Amino acid sequence: MSVGTVDTTRNYAKAMDREDELASFRKEFYLKDGAIYMDGNSLGLMSKRAEKSLTVAMDTWRNFGIDGWTEGDAPWFDYSERLGAMMAPLVGASAEEVIATGSTTTNIHQLAATFYKPEGKRAKIVADELTFPSDIYALQSQLRLHGLNPDEHLIRVPSRDGRTLDEEDLIAAMTDEVALVLLPSVLYRSGQLLDMARLSSAARERNIPIGFDLCHSIGAIPHELSQWDADFAVWCNYKYLNAGPGSVAGLFVNRRHFSKVPGLTGWFGSKKEVQFELDHQLTPAEDAGAYQIGTPHILSAAPLLGSLEMFREAEIGRLREKSLRLTRYLMDLVESELSGMGFAIGNPNEDYRRGGHVCLVHDEAVRICKALKDNAVVPDFRAPDVIRLAPISLYTSFEDVWDMVQRLKVIMEEKQYERYEKKRGVVA
């Protein structure tokens, strides 16, 4: 690591921006003048292209009514499949293995209902103690639906340091009593990136289906789900993919499983050619489309279409490369500009173990976040002591990172945070 060697001048940041081949995407987003948005890992910013594709969906409704299902610039009948094909390169899968549908949590329900088949003593589910609560709530209720007690049957693999997970521990938990594994790609608090290739192959060797929650890696990091031979994955599209609040989510099902009947069925999981025969015997689609349930939420899916065009042009490999440079630069500036001010870096340092955000730890994290907001920086607080900062490759500049650290430095020097109450907001 380059502690002490980073160039801390604004000119250096400007020079990095001039060399940045992705810099032109910034003008496609609605950024507020003078404000620095570091919360794109919670809710990505709106882009002109996402706005455009939503407008197209509204125009189709206005101009075609019911015929919008088959007419207009982007007909609705195969909208989810089209989005699936556009998301496939981001997860390293083929188009048929990916579909836009549901929300992350409902998709966990769908895939747990499909892949969790307790039999005899093989009845436990492996998750971890640091994952997002909604994932745990979904697994707990799936266990209850099978008449099992989550306290006994849900294994939450502990963290050794309270921030990260050790792949050794996760693999050790994959015993012959385990019927399903669900793990995050990137931990939402610390930003640790797990070794999904290794975890997938360990699960395969033990014949345990494994799925990943990619909420904090989709759009930030390349994936190779087919190559890793993972069984399934879920993700949301409103974080790094910038598709808007509550936008329709995505899922991946490995083609090995295309003959399975989904755990939760509905008419939009039908094979398209026969869906409108309206037979009471379901003929499921022979691809990931089978995991849809009801009518696609077109208006919540539409912004994703425009947004994904940008990802196709920018390419995920280049986005990841820039993201690693942005987060490295941010960590270097924290170490050189904010030393002795009580900050610690809570994310792993190595590139191959880091997601798209920096986890800054400070005892005064709540109040520092409030002071940052009043200094036109939008951070993200996670209890009890984490400030998440996510510079986004498509729209954050190196100069933004530089400016943000300078504002933070002034906040700390002037102890501005002492003016605020030590209490988190309702959404934090």
Ligand X SMILES: *Cc1c(COP(=O)(O)O)cnc(C)c1O
Site residues, ligand X (CB under 6 A): 103-105, 132, 134-135, 184, 188, 213, 215-216, 236
Sign of torsion over alpha carbons 418, 423, 425, 428: positive
* Shorter beta-carbon distance to ligand X: residue 148 or 243: 243
Nearest approach in angstroms of CB 131 to ligand X is 6
The candidate with the shortest Cα–Cα distance to 184, out of 145, 220, 150, is: 220
Between the CA atoms of 199, 200, 202 and 203, what dihedral angle is there, to the nearest 10 degrees? 120
* Shorter beta-carbon distance to ligand X: residue 184 or 289: 184
Nearest approach in angstroms of CB 291 to ligand X is 15
* Shorter beta-carbon distance to ligand X: residue 124 or 388: 388
Distance CA 194, CA 384 (A): 23
Cβ atoms within 10 Å, residue 119: 7
> Among 20, 128, 213, 380, which one carries the catalytic annotation?
213
User: Residue 377: how many CA atoms within 13 Å on its side-chain side?
Assistant: 28
Nearest approach in angstroms of CB 249 to ligand X is 6
Name, in order, each residue with C-beta under 8 angstroms of 207's C-beta and a sequence gap of 6 or more: none
Nearest approach in angstroms of CB 165 to ligand X is 13
| The pair of three-digit structure tokens given for residue 412, joined into one six-digit string | 């700390």
Is 79 in the active site? no
Distance CA 342, CA 340 (A): 6
Distance CA 229, CA 93 (A): 10
> Among 12, 132, 258, 420, which one carries the catalytic annotation?
132
State the DSSP string of 1-70: --TTTS--SHHHHHHHHHH-TTGGGGGGB---TT-EE-BTTTSPPPBHHHHHHHHHHHHHHHHHGGGGGT
Is 213 in the active site? yes
* Shorter beta-carbon distance to ligand X: residue 103 or 200: 103
> Among 124, 370, 388, 407, which one carries the catalytic annotation?
388
Distance CA 138, CA 132 (A): 11
Is 48 in the active site? no
Nearest approach in angstroms of CB 357 to ligand X is 11
> 198: which DSSP letter?
H
Distance CA 58, CA 276 (A): 24
Token pair 């006994």: residue:
152
> Is 410 exposed, middle or buried, given 0-12, 13-18 or 19+ CB atoms closer than 10 A?
exposed
Nearest approach in angstroms of CB 216 to ligand X is 5
> Among 25, 79, 115, 238, which one carries the catalytic annotation?
238
Nearest approach in angstroms of CB 62 to ligand X is 29
> Among 239, 367, 382, 407, which one carries the catalytic annotation?
239
Give the Å distances, CA to CA, from 86 to 47, 91, 292, 392: 17, 10, 17, 20
DSSP alpha helix (H) spans, 206-297? 225-228, 272-275
* Shorter beta-carbon distance to ligand X: residue 183 or 330: 183
* Shorter beta-carbon distance to ligand X: residue 39 or 135: 135
Is 238 in the active site? yes
* Shorter beta-carbon distance to ligand X: residue 103 or 323: 103
- Active site (catalytic) residues: 132, 213, 238-239, 388
